[in-house]
Chain A
């Protein structure tokens, strides 16, 4: 570190910090979906990364369509793409729950294996439909370029956009879970499934929509992801482990914990990446997480409950 002056270090921290913000946004969006599904339903969805890829491919597909048939709409298509990515991933999630997950609720380890199988099938489907090469949508002009508050700091606009998007989605999830009557039903089902059923909550329906919502949010994560990097058939699987760590580290049932945890992990990795190689940054980050979880297995923000 000795070669940098303090002001240079400051700029590096700011820029790496902002690069970390993009990673944070994608991780948080992924983790929100996963946390809802795992925290509320106790289901491990190994195909969650592939639902993100569904969102990314949807965005790419729409960009190709728009460019070919309605080029005048290019500046606006991305907004629609986000909504459609959410819907496509959500509907696929709904179907997956119906066909697969609902039969395995009492066997969490089996769910894990079955969803892994689903992820293999989805990966191969991506490869068959879109090819093995990585693809990127054409982004609207207003997402390109960057904002330069000082000479040395250069913040890309897409990062800012993704951050805003993440904020909106997070608030939406918070509202849904904690302020709406639907959220009340979800939380009731989490705490006491039998009782919830007895007071007239259709717990099966709650499960299905919860799963669909989680997958839909992964779809939004995919749309956001396209602004940062290109998408390939195995893109989703690259993020699944990190996302799990975010959820577990944050304490599975805590929304606030998930946010803090995504931020910590993304920033640690991103700042470390500047000083050591990317792979070692990941090794250190994951290693630290495993160590912390060994001493505090319930995560950062688990609530104390009488067992």
Chain B
């Protein structure tokens, strides 16, 4: 079962984490192809966010392996994982409210990451160009000078996605990217996700089924830390176990 060298962008195998005996993620195996947009769904407490925490190093696993482009992530520090090419968006928009949109993007720009590098960092035309390009993508070009705290909820979500995009990650992980968004914003976000998943793999956690249907290549249903079903949206929706979990309660 354990593979050593794969074509997968992300290969999670036999991953388990327990908190004082409670297994939040139990023997999970999950693969992500290149350019795949994979959505994890599941009821509250299924362990979805914990899976993202484990991949990005926020939580340390009890056992199992996480390979990203054949590199083992489980014993790397958070910032090393990011530098390897994994970006993660948090559930509640996590942006720097006191900085402008421009500064938010600049701080996320993947150069000058050391102490002295950041002191000597210069805002060159190259940096500005990249920031403009990202700002266009996330529909915030006109808000570059706005203090990020003043943005609407949806715009904050986009900004955080932009802060990840500027680092050009090979794997982008988004925790409920459309939570709290208006219908129009959801549509725009779906478009955005479809656009940015070109050339990278994306792992999304989401509740909104319409939204999932619109974006997902592949869906995994998580329940009590274990995989309940996996496949494309149609297959998963037809699965009696899934119906039981979602409607049975």
Q: Are A and B co-members of a single complex?
A: yes
Contact with A along B51-75 (1 / 0, CB 8 A): 0000000010000000000000000
Q: How large, as a class, is the contact surface on chain A?
A: under 10
What 0/1 pattern do residues 270 to 307 of A give for CB contact below 8 A with B? 00000000000000000000000000000000001110
Among the listed B20, B24, B50, which residue makes an inter-chain contact with A304, where contact means beta carbons less than 8 Å apart? B20
Does B19 touch A at the CB level, under 8 Å?
yes
Cα-based distance from A118 to B237 in the complex (angstroms): 62
Within 8 A of A (CB), among B19-65: 19-20, 24, 50, 59
Nearest B residue to A304 via CB reads: B20
Contacts of B50 in A (CB 8 A): 306
In this complex, what residue of A is CB-closest to B24?
A306
Q: Provide the residues of chain A in CB contact with B19, threshold 8 Å.
A: 304-306
Interface string of B73-115 (1 = CB under 8 A from A): 0000000000000000000000000000000000000000000
Interface of A with B (CB < 8 Å)?
304-306
* Interface residue count on the B side (C-beta < 8 Å): 5
Min C-beta distance of B109 to chain A, whole Å: 28
Give A251 Cβ to nearest chain B Cβ, in Å: 15
Q: Can you offer 7 A-B residue contacts whose CB atoms are under 8 A?
A: A304-B19, A304-B20, A305-B19, A306-B19, A306-B24, A306-B50, A306-B59
CB nearest neighbor in A for B22: A306
Residues of B within 8 Å of A306, CB to CB, are 19, 24, 50, 59
Docked pose: A306 CA to B45 CA in angstroms: 13
Q: How far is the CA of A305 from the CA of B20 in the complex (A)?
A: 8
B19 and chain A: residue at smallest CB distance: A306
Chain B residues positioned under 8 Å from A304 (CB to CB) = 19-20
| Shortest distance between the CB of A173 and any CB in chain B (Å) | 25
Closest to B50 in A: A306
Q: Chain B's nearest CB lies how many Å from the CB of A185? A: 25
Residues of B within 8 A of A305 (CB): 19
- Bound complex: CA of A305 vs CA of B59, how far in Å? 11
Q: Separation in Å of the A140 CB from the closest CB of chain B? A: 50
A166 to B113 Cα, complex, angstroms: 53
In the assembled complex, the CB of B231 is this many whole angstroms from the nearest CB of chain A, namely 30
Q: What CA separation (Å) do A304 and B19 show in the bound complex? A: 8
Closest to A303 in B: B20
Which residue from chain A places its CB closest to the CB of B17 in the assembled complex?
Answer: A306
Closest-CB distance, A105 to chain B (whole angstroms): 19
Would you give the shortest CB distance from B51 to chain A, in whole angstroms? Answer: 13
A260 → chain B closest CB, angstroms: 21
Q: A213 to chain B: closest CB distance in Å?
A: 29
In the complex, the 3 A-B pairs of residues with the closest C-beta atoms, listed nearest first: A306-B19, A304-B20, A304-B19
Provide the residues of chain A in CB contact with B24, threshold 8 Å: 306
What's the minimum C-beta distance from A298 to chain B, rounded to whole angstroms?
14
User: In the bound complex, how far is the Cα of B59 from the Cα of A276, in angstroms?
Assistant: 46
With a CB–CB cut-off of 8 A, which chain A residues contact B59? 306
CB distance from B18 to the nearest CB of A (A): 10
CB distance from A111 to the nearest CB of B (A): 21
Min CB distance A266 to B, Å, is 31
Report the separation of the CA atoms of residues A305 and B24 in the bound assembly, to the nearest whole angstrom: 12
Q: Which residue of B lies closest to A306 (CB)?
A: B19
Bound-complex Cα distance A304 to B20 (A): 7
| A306–B17 alpha-carbon span in the complex (Å) | 11
A303, chain B: closest CB distance, angstroms: 8
Q: Digit string of B163-175 for contact with A (CB within 8 Å is 1, else 0)? A: 0000000000000
